[in-house]
Chain A
Amino acid sequence: MHNTIVLVKKEFRSYFSTPLAYIFLVAFLVITQWLVMRGYFLRGQADLRSFFGLVPIIFILFIPAITMRLWAEERRQGTIEILMTSPVRDMEAVLGKFIGGWIFMGLAILFTFALPLVLKYTVAPEVGTDKGPIIGGYIGLFLMGGAYLAIGLFSSSLLDSQIAAWIIGTCICFALYMVGDPFGLFALPQALVPFFQYLSLSRHFENIARGVIDIRDIVYYFSVIFFFLFLNSCMIKSRK
């Protein structure tokens, strides 16, 4: 536990030791807010549905960019040798990196607070708004981002190239996002449809973003996170 906290602190701080974190935050915020705002006044609806539809897709590209460095660079520079020969369990190291990244991602999500504020002062006074989907949407984003993050962290542990880690991470995230898509499901045998829908990251997100916080969806996200963190620690162990 102590080790994990030490690593979380170090990982979170290391995002800000290079300009990368600031570039990431600015790029993420500019792109999402622009894409959301361009249709916002035309639609004239007091919800953030377009925002919550967009961010999970943007995250497919952005989250693996947060994590791609974490193990790949550690391996390329050899610093992993110092890390793994200090009295730290593999899982503690994995968790430290994951939680550090999760906090950073939470920060990125937090910075989109301007949108609900805009909503509150522009459209909402006229048509009235429902807070449930917004709160749910944010919780959903945080959980879904966590799942993406675990996937990205795992793919970073596969090779010692950051770019390869980013591409692999993006592909796995995309695949898990798309499996529940009706466009692909209609070609499948009927019996398999519920299974693929259950696997899909986006389906569970839709539930939460509707404002319905079901324990099953939360369990699902945490299982995905722990599954990939477990694979990650296996990869770290496999060096031996």
Chain B
Amino acid sequence: MITVKNLTKRFGETVAVNKVSFKVSLGEIVGFLGPNGAGKTTTMKMITCYLEPDQGQVQIGDLNIKEHSLEVRRKIGYLPENTPLYMDMGVVDYLLFIAELRNIPKSKKMSRVRQIVETCSLEREIKKNIGELSKGYRQRVGLAQALIHDPEILILDEPTSGLDPNQIIEIRELIKKIGQKKTIILSTHILPEVTATCNRAIIIHNGKLVADGTTEQLAEQSRGRTIYYVRIKGPKDTVQSRIQELISVESVRFQEESPQIGCRFEILAPKDKNPCEDLFRMAVKNDWVLTELSHERASLEDIFRDLTSS
């Protein structure tokens, strides 16, 4: 559906987007991740034909953004960063204006606006001016605006930034609801959002693509390592040195001690090794009671920090 190849954009000396390539297929929801200023917005602006790339190609279906700019724009719904809207316009007036601009025939205009107002749960606020709306409702108007012509592709630039937790969940639900039938790219720097709404994540840092894959794939790609936690009732120092001796353990760190349930250790295993069995046998051999044995996968947060802190 969307093919981005070697996309490059410079602003003066700085390279905002540097040879970024990726593909998004029909029906996918892709999360665009990266710290502020990584080049997410610039990439999205190029896909939506607001900016022109210095180098590289963007292909929407079989249309090129340079040669078929107007056709491409017809297929895309775009919610820019910070939801820019005409503050002195009424909600319905504004949506009617966008509907006209999007060439929706006169006879269908009103019913389409009514439909979209319902989809975005805007019914309560239709009589107000956009400037009077709360941030969450403005965001909905922004989404309604992007959806009104029923585009195949939705590009959403930080759709949940600045919203309160309830609103964030509502907007996420809305995106998921819409996303069943559409291809969506959404950018964010809130990581749980990607896990919550997207099938796939693309991480951009300093204008370069640093990772691309499902969240599980990314977890494996990055460290491929799992952290294990073990709690053993026994003498602290002896236990620690015994754990350290195991082949399936790379390093061990003491965490805390409690008289009832023993000492807790954090264990880092080498790649592709699982120390659980060895730990259990070791405890049995020494007649220690094992009170906890758990593991934690590297979270998206860790991956993100790993890839973007340099």
Which residues of A come within 8 Å of B, CB atoms? 2-3, 6-7, 10, 13-14, 17-18, 77-89, 239-240
Q: A3-B101, A87-B70, A87-B101 are in contact. List 7 more A-B contacts (CB 8 A).
A: A10-B97, A82-B78, A82-B145, A83-B101, A84-B50, A86-B102, A240-B52
Inter-chain contact A14/B88, CB cutoff 8 Å: yes
How far, in whole Å, are A55 and B270 apart by their CA atoms in the complex? Answer: 84
**Given A78-B81, A88-B101: A17 and B88 within 8 A (CB)?**
yes
B211 within 8 A of A: no
Inter-chain contact A86/B89, CB cutoff 8 Å: no
B80 within 8 A of A: yes
**Given A77-B84, A79-B84: A2 and B103 within 8 A (CB)?**
yes
Q: Which residue of A lies closest to B89 (CB)?
A: A17
**Given A6-B100, A239-B50, A240-B52: A85 and B86 within 8 A (CB)?**
no
User: For residue B102, which residues in chain A have a CB less than 8 angstroms away from its CB?
Assistant: 86-87
User: For residue B73, which residues in chain A have a CB less than 8 angstroms away from its CB?
Assistant: 85-87
**Given A6-B97, A239-B51, A240-B52: A85 and B103 within 8 A (CB)?**
no
Q: Which residue of A lies closest to B52 (CB)?
A: A240
B49 within 8 A of A: yes
Inter-chain contact B80/A81, CB cutoff 8 Å: yes
Q: A-side binding surface: helix, strand, loop or mixed?
A: helix
A10 to chain B, nearest CB (A): 5
Inter-chain contact B76/A85, CB cutoff 8 Å: yes
A94 to chain B, nearest CB (A): 15
Partner of A89, one of B70, B84, B85, B93: B70
Q: Which residue of B lies closest to A79 (CB)?
A: B84
User: For residue A240, which residues in chain B have a CB less than 8 angstroms away from its CB?
Assistant: 50-52
How far, in whole Å, are A3 and B48 apart by their CA atoms in the complex? Answer: 19
B90 to chain A, nearest CB (A): 8
B290 within 8 A of A: no
A81 to chain B, nearest CB (A): 4
B98 within 8 A of A: yes
Which residues of B come within 8 Å of A, CB atoms? 45, 48-52, 70-71, 73-74, 76, 78, 80-82, 84-89, 93, 97-98, 100-103, 145
User: For residue B78, which residues in chain A have a CB less than 8 angstroms away from its CB?
Assistant: 81-82, 85
30 A–B contacts, CB within 8 A, in A order: A2-B103, A7-B101, A13-B93, A14-B88, A14-B89, A17-B88, A77-B85, A78-B84, A79-B84, A79-B85, A79-B86, A80-B84, A81-B50, A81-B78, A82-B80, A82-B98, A84-B49, A84-B50, A85-B48, A85-B50, A85-B76, A85-B80, A86-B102, A87-B73, A87-B74, A89-B70, A239-B50, A240-B50, A240-B51, A240-B52
A-B pairs under 8 A by CB, number? 65
How far, in whole Å, are A88 and B101 apart by their CA atoms in the complex? Answer: 8
Inter-chain contact A78/B80, CB cutoff 8 Å: yes
Q: Which residue of A lies closest to B146 (CB)?
A: A82
Inter-chain contact A86/B84, CB cutoff 8 Å: no
How far, in whole Å, are A10 and B204 apart by their CA atoms in the complex? Answer: 38
B269 to chain A, nearest CB (A): 48
How far, in whole Å, are A88 and B88 apart by their CA atoms in the complex? Answer: 22
How far, in whole Å, are A78 and B48 apart by their CA atoms in the complex? Answer: 14
Inter-chain contact B86/A14, CB cutoff 8 Å: yes
How far, in whole Å, are A70 and B23 apart by their CA atoms in the complex? Answer: 38
User: For residue A82, which residues in chain B have a CB less than 8 angstroms away from its CB?
Assistant: 78, 80, 84-85, 98, 145
How far, in whole Å, are A85 and B88 apart by their CA atoms in the complex? Answer: 21
Inter-chain contact A87/B85, CB cutoff 8 Å: no
8 smallest beta-carbon distances between A and B, as pairs: A78-B84, A240-B52, A81-B80, A6-B100, A79-B84, A85-B48, A17-B88, A87-B73
User: For residue A87, which residues in chain B have a CB less than 8 angstroms away from its CB?
Assistant: 70-71, 73-74, 101-103
Q: Which residue of A lies closest to B145 (CB)?
A: A82
B221 to chain A, nearest CB (A): 33
**Given A14-B86, A14-B88, A81-B45: A86 and B101 within 8 A (CB)?**
yes
Inter-chain contact A86/B98, CB cutoff 8 Å: yes
How far, in whole Å, are A7 and B101 apart by their CA atoms in the complex? Answer: 8
How far, in whole Å, are A3 and B99 apart by their CA atoms in the complex? Answer: 11
A87 to chain B, nearest CB (A): 5
A156 to chain B, nearest CB (A): 16
User: For residue A239, which residues in chain B have a CB less than 8 angstroms away from its CB?
Assistant: 50-51
Q: Which residue of A lies closest to B73 (CB)?
A: A87
A19 to chain B, nearest CB (A): 10
How far, in whole Å, are A118 and B56 apart by their CA atoms in the complex? Answer: 67
